[in-house]
Amino acid sequence: MPDERPLRADAARNRAKILEAANRQIIARGPEVPMEAIAEDAGVAVGTLYRHFPTKDALVAAVLYAHFEEMTLGAEAAADRIDAGGSALDEFTALFRFILENAAGNQAVKAAARSLGAPMDEDLLRGRGVRALERIIAAGISQGDLRADMTIDDCHLFFATAPIDQPAAVRERWFTLMMDGSRAPAARPAQ
Amino acid sequence: MPDERPLRADAARNRAKILEAANRQIIARGPEVPMEAIAEDAGVAVGTLYRHFPTKDALVAAVLYAHFEEMTLGAEAAADRIDAGGSALDEFTALFRFILENAAGNQAVKAAARSLGAPMDEDLLRGRGVRALERIIAAGISQGDLRADMTIDDCHLFFATAPIDQPAAVRERWFTLMMDGSRAPAARPAQ
DNA sequence: CCATAACCTGAATCTAGGTTCATTATATAG
DNA sequence: CTATATAATGAACCTAGATTCAGGTTATGG
């Protein structure tokens, strides 16, 4: 592995513009958005996309990776705040609201993940991500707010089922049902 | 509108084979499955698909329609059983399990619905379907088993979020969380 | 049995979108 | 300021998959 020699300044700038454009376009039009569209959005020629990413899938994967990373960071921050004395239920709720509204970002990103067989899901979630989530869940259970049988797998459900392409009211309702279903029966608000 | 003259016997047979093949292929490979694949599965030439359906979207829509119809019929039967003295919660649970496992059938059909803007969702659900679901929900609430704020819109969530492409264990877990979230707090089983 | 309208076939056409690469432009080491 | 390795450009190429249609089949009324 010959150590990567640094990118030329303009190349680095373009790479960033491409990633931003790809994210924007994928969110707006789904992962099937044409490379041309991404190129135009980035103010660059198609060829340039291929200079930075060997294939379209690679570009989409890079965008996905950024999203997963953002989620992981959010989870770790939440776990840390719990250790510092915060409410596990509050952090759990806030984290998944954050994921719902921002990180998973939209149906498109989910679709992209699916269309790639989401291999990186494994990587990141099996790494720092899961560890942080496990800390949060364990705290929530021991604090008596989360149902005792909740596991890391339930978190997959949030990713897998969030109706991100639906109107805000629908998303909100889903969030409510899901959260109520996640609580310990005793901790459930009287509707 | 000149009244449809009846299909020739062989044509009717082929139409049925095409619909079956399309359903099978869409379930197995998603709505982007090539027309050729459907034709082959049906034991027919591509041209024949186009004799029966003006466009690929029309064929996919026809498959979707059948699914929605099946769900509608199931809902009506459930509502009738409740009127005849059945448990609303049991029927509600059974109906959505049925929808989860069979009718919505799979992520593919859902994806197809999405890729078509799901106009028929409206049609059927605004018709007999909603009426049946409303009867079921109303009964569930008055019997004290469903959360009092549950509405027909919550049913959309089942369609929109069912993780049908996930392993059975995951689907089952989702079902549990969703159902627990749908119950009246008092009626919730002690986990 | 025929006539003929209905049907079916499948090669050919058309198009969108991914990918390549010869050419031209530009950053930057020295 | 130059030389040159890096980059960017975008027209051309290629493939998959939707759709068409000229020509061959077949069901069925009479």
Q: Which domains does chain B have, with CATH numbers?
A: 1-53 (1.10.10), 63-187 (1.10.357)
Task: Tell me the percentage of chain A whose pLDDT exceeds 90.
Answer: 48
Task: Classify residue A86 by its DSSP letter.
Answer: -
**Crossing angle for the helix pair A130-142 and A88-98, nearest 10 degrees?**
140
List b or e across A168-189, with b for residues whose CB sees 16 or more CB atoms inside 10 angstroms: eebbebbbbbbbbbbbbeeebe
Q: How many Cβ pairs within 8 Å bridge chains A and B?
A: 77
Q: How far is the CA of A50 from the C1' of D5 (A)?
A: 19
The average pLDDT across B81-100 equals 92
Does residue B3 surpass a pLDDT of 70? Answer: no
What pLDDT, on the 0 to 100 scale, is given for residue B50? 98
Using the Cβ of A176 and the Cβ atoms of chain B, whether some distance falls under 8 Å is answered with yes
Q: DSSP class of residue A184?
A: -
pLDDT band at B36 (very low <50, low <70, confident <90, very high): very high
Choose between A94 and B127: higher pLDDT.
A94
The token pair that represents B14 in the structure block: 């082929």
Which tokens in the block code for residue B22? Answer: 């399309």
Task: Give the nearest nucleotide to A57, CA to C1'.
Answer: C18
Model pLDDT, residue A117: 56
Residue A187: closest C-alpha in chain B: B185
Both tokens assigned to B139? 């009964």
Span B82-86, average pLDDT: 96
Q: Is pLDDT above 60 for B105? A: no
Round and report the angstrom distance from CA (A35) to C1' (C12).
29
pLDDT tens for residues A85-130?
A: 999 999 999 998 888 777 555 556 666 666 665 555 555 556 888 8
Write down the pLDDT at residue B123: 58
What is the predicted pLDDT for the residue at B112? 63
What residues does A183 pair with on adjacent strands?
Answer: A146
Of the two residues B19 and A103, the one the predictor is more confident about is B19
Assigned token pair, A68: 């997963």
Q: pLDDT band for position B31 (50/70/90)? A: confident
Q: Which residue type does A137 have?
A: I
A 110-129 near B (Cβ less than 8 A) = 114
Q: What is the pLDDT of residues A54-78, one digit of tens each?
A: 999 999 989 988 888 888 899 999 9
Q: So what's the pLDDT on residue B165?
A: 67
- Per-residue pLDDT, B125: 53
- If you average pLDDT over residues B12-29, what whole number do you get? 94
The reported pLDDT for the residue numbered B52 is 97
Count Cβ atoms below 10 Å from residue B122 Cβ, excluding itself: 10
Q: Count of H helices and E strands in chain B? A: 10, 0
Mean confidence (pLDDT) of chain B: 85
The residue ranking higher by pLDDT, B186 or A47, is A47
Q: Pick the residue with more confidence: A182 or B17? A: B17
